Amino acid sequence: MKETAKLNISKSLALYEEAITLIPGGVLGARKPGDFINGEYPIFLDTGKGAKLVDVDGNEFIDFLCGYGPIILGYREDEVDEAVYKQIRDKGFCFTLTQKFQNQLAKKLTQIVPCSEMSIFLKTGSDATTAAIRIARAHTEKLKVMRCGYHGWHDWCIEMKGGIPKKFYEDVYEFQYNKLDQLEELMAEHGDDTAAIIMTPFGHPNHKKMEIPEPGFLEGAREIADKYGVVLIYDEIRTCFRLAMGGAQELYGVTPDLTVLGKAMGNGYPISVVTGKKDVMMAAESKLFISSTFFPNSEAFIAALKTIEIMERDNVLENIWEKGKWFMEKIQQTIDKHNVGAELTGVAPMFYITFKKDDTGAYKGKRTDFYTQLIRKGFFFTPFHHAYISYRHTKEELELSLKAIDESLHFIKDKYQ
């Protein structure tokens, strides 16, 4: 199989050279070139519509990153954007006091999310996870936290410890997804001093295969939380409004005390929420302080209300599950055909293609070559993060993507045979 020609990304690279003189690292976080493949991926994008992106050099891509998750419907979704424009134009969105849409969205969440009785709205996932931990500590008057999964960039949870004193995270202990015995051991030692167990109810660790919960894992964590009187928190930033309208807690039938939501709720507009049981949430009334000038801004509330309305009206998740299930089945058939060590994990709305580790380290080269071929062909996946299906992905776009995956695996097979 012939290698696909390299993209022209000269404008992206020129902007990046300028950016590194203005911004540390040029761009922030998981958008740095090293988090993709250096020299192959665009660094700056220009436009997006539906399930497609165009970079500053004019290269067009069918996108499976969905803005790292927030785009559940599609880019520039007309109904959502028009609702926001109308609010900004006719009413305004940033005031000293709160607008009524806060109440409307909170009431809607109580209808959708199993644990939701009261809510606090914020802007980012890191805001929400950190607020949830503060609420749990205030409610229980305990200190320690057990964590499983990625929960944002704040001091208590980020893996890179530069600039963070040890005392800010020394009471936070990590256990692995589906390893209930690890949680049991930690709680046997620290349970009486533990305020919260925070976990992703669906396993989507960074840079690793995705995992569905093994029988008894979520139920066991719930039982342990009850046994020690700690607050069970689900980090559903990626999974709510994607695995089910009520998140993984609805899909798997195990209800936490608190949950944090974000990403898909506003189809790209900045909003997150801590929502949960009233007796726990009420700690935020008088025992702690959570505030921001921008938390009550109504444009994101409007976007979330309209996004949820569309998702319910148009059976968006049913559509995504149907397309995603078909797509994953076809991907697996392609993987089986080529037998180059590729692995497919996840569920229909969010999935990941990785490569089996081997003693020679060839899997790293296969991974790089596979995703290089895909981006050159115009399909925006990444080696280091799972993919998403959006409502606006068409059957034709998925069929084109399957062809590209097939050709890219064929290239790997020829190169590494």
- Domains of the chain in start order, with CATH, are 10-75+316-416 (3.90.1150.10), 78-313 (3.40.640.10)
Please compute Rg for the chain using Cα positions. 22
**What would the two tokens of residue 104 be?**
């409307």
**What would the two tokens of residue 164 be?**
């963070």
Query: Once rounded to an integer, what is the mean pLDDT over residues 273-292?
Result: 97
CA distance 39 to 75: 26
154 Cβ neighbours under 8 A, 6+ residues apart = 126, 129, 130
Place 273 in a pLDDT band, splitting at 50, 70 and 90: very high
**What would the two tokens of residue 404 be?**
């590209």
SS3 call for 42: coil
CA distance 137 to 150: 19
pLDDT at 128 over 90: yes
Which position has the token pair 């030692």? 189
CA distance 214 to 417: 35
Q: What is the pLDDT of residues 147-182, one digit of tens each?
A: 999 999 999 999 999 999 999 999 999 999 999 999
Q: What is the pLDDT of residues 16-50, one digit of tens each?
A: 999 999 999 999 999 999 999 999 999 999 999 99
pLDDT number for residue 417: 82
54 Cβ neighbours under 8 A, 6+ residues apart = 45, 46, 47, 48, 60, 61
pLDDT number for residue 250: 98
Place 361 in a pLDDT band, splitting at 50, 70 and 90: confident
Q: What percent of the chain lies above the pLDDT cut of 70?
A: 100
Query: Once rounded to an integer, what is the mean pLDDT over residues 301-328?
Result: 98
Q: What is the DSSP string of 346-390?
A: EETTEEEEEE---TT-HHHHHHHHHHHHHHHHTEE--TTS-EE--
Positive or negative, the CA dihedral 287, 293, 297, 301 is negative
Beta bridge partners of 339: none
pLDDT at 360 over 90: no
Mean pLDDT of the chain: 97
SS3 call for 134: helix
Query: Once rounded to an integer, what is the mean pLDDT over residues 342-367?
Result: 95
Could you report how far apart the first and last alpha carbons of the chain are, in Å? 12
pLDDT at 107 over 90: yes
Least confident of 135-139, 156-160, 178-182, 267-271: 156-160
Backbone angles phi, psi at 343, to 5 degrees: -135, 140
SS3 call for 95: coil
Place 200 in a pLDDT band, splitting at 50, 70 and 90: very high
pLDDT at 207 over 90: no
pLDDT at 326 over 90: yes
Q: What is the pLDDT of residues 81-92, one digit of tens each?
A: 999 999 999 999
Instruction: Spell out the alpha helix ranges (H) of 10-74.
Output: 10-19
Q: What is the pLDDT of residues 6-18, one digit of tens each?
A: 999 999 999 999 9
**What would the two tokens of residue 264 be?**
């898909």
Query: Once rounded to an integer, what is the mean pLDDT over residues 251-264?
Result: 97
pLDDT number for residue 1: 81
CA distance 404 to 373: 8
Query: Once rounded to an integer, what is the mean pLDDT over residues 312-335?
Result: 98
Residue whose C-alpha is closest to residue 367's, from 344, 337, 388, 342: 342
CB contact at 8 A, 205 and 150: yes
CA distance 234 to 219: 13
Query: Once rounded to an integer, what is the mean pLDDT over residues 130-134?
Result: 98
CA distance 348 to 229: 35
Query: Once rounded to an integer, what is the mean pLDDT over residues 366-395?
Result: 97
